[in-house]
Structure 1
Amino acid sequence: MTIATPQGFGTQTHERLPLPPAEHMSDAQRTVTEALIAGPRKGVKGPFVPLMHSPVLLERLAGVGEYLRFNAVLPRHVNEFATLVVARELSNQFEWAVHYPLAIQAGVPEALLEELATGARPRSMPDDEADAWAFATELLRRHSVSEPTYAAAIRRWGEQGVVELGALVGYFACVCWIMNIARTPVRSEVAALPGFPA
């Protein structure tokens, strides 16, 4: 499986916004580092590496992401699948590698994810994942959703679910873009997970 465009684009792979050395961190950076280590993420990784250069933004985005990942009304398998749609659409290897096994644990069929990894619309999706795919893909490509896609999402998840699905797509687009800009590397232990598009 491959993602068509490498994270960060082009042949250059050097990290642009690495984690500041501990001895050079500001008090605000130390505070958010301690909060990330103590929270559900258990460390500073992925988008929080470049976001460390804006600790107030990091703190606020981390709170949004925590709500969307752990407290939103969407079923977990839909949440993880929509996250992978965003990661694939934006060619972000870190989020793909992290959320691929989480999606499988949540019940998304691996064969479906293998098709998604190629950039194609998966052929055999359950109805709720098909609705999530249409919603996320239209939002990312057309910057809105059609009436049929909106109506299907409202029927399935209600108004709160539609708002939270839109926010989920936006949140993961935001952190994927930041990592793509920063060329944040995928950690080797994440890259080794099954299904990682090499």
Structure 2
Amino acid sequence: MTMRPTPQGFGPDTSERLPLPAADMMNEAQRAAAQMLIDGPRKGVKGPFVPLLRSPVLMERLAKVGEYLRFESALPARIGEFATLVVARHVSNQFEWAIHHPLALAAGTRAGTLDDLAAGSQCPRDMDESEAVACAFAGELLQHHGVSDPTYAAALALWGERGVVELSTLIGYFACVSWVMNVARTPAPATEGFSPLSALPR
């Protein structure tokens, strides 16, 4: 009989499978990769990069993709943060939700919108036009592995071809690192006043 895995953070055992190795247990490549993160905009080895440190070349390359998408993308910051939370909710990843929830609020997304998203709503209230397009685009891509012509046209009108490509990649990137953390059971940071995601009905 095959056991069905439970969503990250909701099973009976939440012990971290791939914690940060002690510095004296790292090899030279791991120490160099860790130092790259410490010296970069992230200022430390956190979240998905803790388990990814087992494969330092992969970690470095994914880190560069993430840096571009977060800090250099053509997409407005509010759309990037909101789309990241759509992904985090879809894959039930506590870390990305904890990190990007306050960033989305600071970028201008309403608290009620994020409350609805956390509760599993496919169409959260109080979204503006661009958030609604991003929500539809991310939701279709995550659920159907593509997007409809109307959704594509709406995204193209707002962000152009570069924006559509970068939004698609952002969704894929955060799904990727969330899956790594879900497998590793990477915990969310302890954040005062933050409410973690609850399990959705299965």
Q: TM-score, normalised by structure 2?
A: 0.91
* Distance (Å, rounded) in 1 between the aligned partners of 2:11 and 2:194: 25
Structure 2 residue aligned with 1:92: 93
In the alignment, which residue of structure 2 is the partner of 1:126?
Answer: 128
1:141 and 1:14 mapped to 2: Cα distance?
Answer: 29
Counterparts in 2 of 1:196 and 1:139: CA distance versus 1, 3 Å? same
**Identical counterparts, % of pairs:** 62
Deviation at 1:187, TM superposition (A): 2.3
Matches within 5 A, 1:15-34: 15-34=16-35
Residues 79-106 of structure 1: CA distance to partner in whole angstroms, max 9, x if unpaired?
A: 1000000000100000000000000110
Instruction: Say which of 161, 164, 167 aligns to 1:165.
Output: 167
Count of aligned pairs between the two proteins: 192
Equivalent residue letter for 1:112: T
Residues 14-33 of structure 1, C-alpha deviation per residue, up to 9 Å, x if partnerless? 11111111101011110011
Secondary structure of the residue that 1:46 maps to in structure 2? coil
CA distance in 2, matches of 1:72, 1:195: 29
Q: Map of 1:135-146 to 2, 5 A cutoff? A: 135-146=137-148
Q: 1:105 matched to which residue of 2?
A: 106
Contact 2:52–2:58 under 8 Å retained in 1: yes
Structure 1 counterpart of 2:157, from 139, 155, 158: 155
Give the 3-state SS of the residue equivalent to 1:123 in structure 2: coil
Q: Is the 8 A contact 2:112 2:126 kept in 1?
A: no
Q: Helix, strand or coil: the match of 1:73?
A: coil
Distance apart, 1:169 and its partner CA: 0.0
SS of 1:7's partner is coil
* TM-score between both structures, scaled by the size of structure 1: 0.93
- Which residues of structure 1 form unaligned runs of 5+? none
Cα displacement (A) at 1:12? 1.4
Alpha-carbon shift at residue 124 of structure 1 (Å): 2.4
User: What CA deviation, in whole Å up to 9, does each residue of 1:99-122 have, x standing for no partner?
Assistant: 000001101111111111101020
Q: Distance in 2 between matches of 1:187 and 1:104?
A: 18
State the match for 1:187 in structure 2.
Answer: 189
* CA distance in structure 2 between the aligned counterparts of 1:133 and 1:47, rounded to whole angstroms: 23
- The offset of 1:75, in angstroms, is 0.4
- Bigger RCO (CA 8 Å, 6+ sep): 1
- Among 174, 177, 180, the residue aligned to 2:176: 174
Question: Is there any run of 5+ residues in structure 2 with no aligned partner, and where?
Answer: 1-5
Distance 1:29 1:8 in 2: 27
The residue number in structure 2 matching 1:83 is: 84
Tell me, yes or no, if structure 1 residue 197 matches structure 2 residue 197: yes
1:34-87 Cα deviation digits (max 9, x unpaired)? 111111101111000000000000000000000000000000000100000000
Structure 2 counterpart of 1:132, one-letter code: A
2:75 paired residue number:
74
Counterpart of 1:101, as a letter, is P
